Amino acid sequence: MNFNRKRHKTLKLLSPSFILFNSDQLTSEDKFGVSFADLEKELKYDRYDCEKVFSRLYRDGEVKYTNTSVVGLHLTQG
């Protein structure tokens, strides 16, 4: 399994909401972050393999857990 590609794809999936949030264009209809279920679906990984991908991103401080509008992840830096 190529976890580096999946990490990159995860960051790419999280980028749109991060950009909207930083530019103060996030509306009440937009969600801050991406849910775990959506990430699993997009990455085509089960929860166990997703945790392997996310653990490195957590450790490096690139993502954080969110439960603001979704239960999932959000970017911490651009």
pLDDT digit string (tens) for 16-46? Answer: 888 887 787 777 677 778 999 999 999 999 9
Q: How far is Cα 48 from Cα 63, in angstroms, rounded to an integer?
A: 18
**pTM value?**
0.84
| Dihedrals phi, psi of 69, to nearest 5 degrees | -115, -20
Least confident range of 9-13, 29-33, 71-75: 29-33
pLDDT band at 1 (very low <50, low <70, confident <90, very high): low
